[in-house]
Structure 1
Amino acid sequence: MTADLLHAGLGWPIAFVLVVASFLGSLITAGFGIGGGAVMLAVLATLLPPAAIVPVHGLVQVGSNAGRSFLFRKDLYTKVMWPFLLGSAIGVTLGGAFVVQLDAGMLQIGLGLFILWTLAFKPPALMRRSSAITGWFSSFLTMFVGGTGPFVAAYIKTLGLTRVQHVATHAVFMTIQHLLKTVAFGLLGFAFSKWAGLITLLILSGFLGTIAGRHILFRINEARFKLVLNTILTLLALRLIYAGAISLWYATPVQ
């Protein structure tokens, strides 16, 4: 019974893969600023029932980002935190109201294209000036596509922070967003209790990955960090576009 609670009935081989993925995902995000959440989401999408993917990913990311926030707490850029919190609360509330009514494939393609645009051109002035707008829009989207970390990272990139400040601020933003999302899914009726043991294991392994990734972050210089960050954002954006296109392709009825 205890074993079933720990691996949520998936079996130990699958649980082990998820634990390793959580460690590596947190290592990537702590070391390079972004990417680990998308890695974790991709693995979960392969191994979990569809209805559990976004809620479980959200709670795992709460733990992962909270641990990273604690380790980098001295480097948080606090000026933009409270507006982001307010915007996120509004976005999650609206997303929860429409969570079954919008096409996730179209949202993924739009999000991927927007990230590529912010990398190739100067981001919109409204986005650069307002963390509240970023919080609202990204939190609305996260109810459908799960991982909007790249979008938030694209915004934080416009603030001109150091690499450590970037990681710290991104961690707090994502903790806020995923916590609100988790509460929303709980209110919508998702049974987190079945997954509690496995989620605990994934959070613990993620924290160990964050500790390992912090050593990478402290050894990489600013120029290389920005290059790696832009590369990861580009790859994640392309993956979002591809996933959205595949979703739309299979959703289109055959004539």
Structure 2
Amino acid sequence: MSTLLPPDLAQAAALALLAFSFAGSFLTAAFGIGGGVAFLGACAILLPPAAIIPVHGVVQLGSNTTRALLFRRNVMWTALPAFVIGSLVGVAIGGSVVVSLPAWLVQSAVGIFILWVVFVHPPRWLSQWPLVTGLISSFLTMFFGATGPFVAGYVKSLKLDRHTHTGTQAVLMTVQHGLKVAMFGVLGFAYGEWAAVIGALIVAGALGTWVGKIVLGRMTDHGFHRVLNVILVLVALRLIWGGISALF
């Protein structure tokens, strides 16, 4: 196995990433959100800095594509065209910015926004303007990586049943991660030496998604949204705490 790994990735770290990829995909498939952020945290600890966002993006692209295929009959497709246009603009702007936004500012702002969506009536534009949601979240994902909670705020505002929520979220995130991966390729990230690791992580994520879909089928819509709110709050508090810690 070690011969398939990049020189700066230990075998133990690769095995840990496989476990986190499975767990993260399971979490998102079963409860709608949280897996991308959890996996990003693992990447931040186990991967070299330059590889964190690009590798995370490819693995999440694989995970969300798998989930989108499994839930393809439960997707609100009307949200897709405007979201794609916004995402194209957001990724293009993000990729052209030389100086990245401060990590603490991005984390704190996304965390506060998520709390607002959960505890206050979501802003009208969030459910009516998927183009704006796609633009902002895709811009932020170039710097922050895991903006699934931001997109989940939009999907949550649509008040969908649990299967349609999960399917719609998966399709939107597939678009976003696909554009991000393409942009990092244009910017020169060498995906080739990471191909074996990425392939294994995607397979682990696909297994996690399959198990998560089984769990989701045994839940009620009420139970799903209650767990979703709890996870969103925990993710938001973690983001805000991380932003404050980075600032001081």
TM-score by length of 1: 0.94
- Quick check: 2:151–2:169 contact (8 Å CA) kept in 1? yes
In the TM superposition, 1:51-130 aligns within 5 A as 51-98=50-97, 100-130=99-129
- Quick check: 1:72–1:168 contact (8 Å CA) kept in 2? yes
The whole-number CA distance in structure 1 between the counterparts of 2:18 and 2:133 is 31
Of 99-108 and 55-64, more deviation after overlay is shown by 99-108
Q: Which runs of 4+ in 1 moved over 3 A?
A: none
Matched letter for residue 24 of structure 2: G
Matched letter for residue 198 of structure 1: V
- Quick check: 1:87–1:134 contact (8 Å CA) kept in 2? yes
The whole-number CA distance in structure 1 between the counterparts of 2:63 and 2:123 is 30
Aligned partner of 1:25 in structure 2 is 24
Aligned partner of 1:253 in structure 2 is none
SS at match of 1:122: coil
% identical aligned pairs: 49
Long gaps (5+) in structure 1: 250-255
- Quick check: 1:4–1:11 contact (8 Å CA) kept in 2? no
Aligned partner of 2:162 in structure 1 is 163
CA deviation string 1:9-40 (max 9, x = no partner): 32321111111110111011000000111110
CA shift at 1:101, angstroms?
Answer: 3.5
The whole-number CA distance in structure 1 between the counterparts of 2:196 and 2:144 is 24
CA shift at 1:124, angstroms?
Answer: 1.2
Aligned partner of 2:246 in structure 1 is 247
The whole-number CA distance in structure 1 between the counterparts of 2:241 and 2:48 is 21
The whole-number CA distance in structure 2 between the counterparts of 1:134 and 1:163 is 21
Q: Does 1:8 align with 2:3?
A: no
CA deviation string 1:93-113 (max 9, x = no partner): 111111533212111111110
Long gaps (5+) in structure 2: none
The whole-number CA distance in structure 1 between the counterparts of 2:224 and 2:60 is 22
CA shift at 1:244, angstroms?
Answer: 1.4
CA shift at 1:41, angstroms?
Answer: 0.4
Aligned partner of 1:196 in structure 2 is 195
CA shift at 1:176, angstroms?
Answer: 0.4
Provide the alpha-carbon RMSD of the alignment.
1.1
CA shift at 1:4, angstroms?
Answer: 2.6
Q: Does 1:136 align with 2:132?
A: no
Matched letter for residue 201 of structure 1: A
The whole-number CA distance in structure 1 between the counterparts of 2:19 and 2:116 is 33
SS at match of 1:202: helix
The whole-number CA distance in structure 1 between the counterparts of 2:24 and 2:100 is 30
Q: Does 1:232 align with 2:244?
A: no
CA shift at 1:196, angstroms?
Answer: 1.0
CA shift at 1:215, angstroms?
Answer: 0.5
Aligned partner of 1:252 in structure 2 is none
Aligned residues: 247
TM-score by length of 2: 0.97
CA shift at 1:128, angstroms?
Answer: 1.7
- Quick check: 1:99–1:143 contact (8 Å CA) kept in 2? no
CA shift at 1:190, angstroms?
Answer: 1.1
CA shift at 1:3, angstroms?
Answer: 3.6
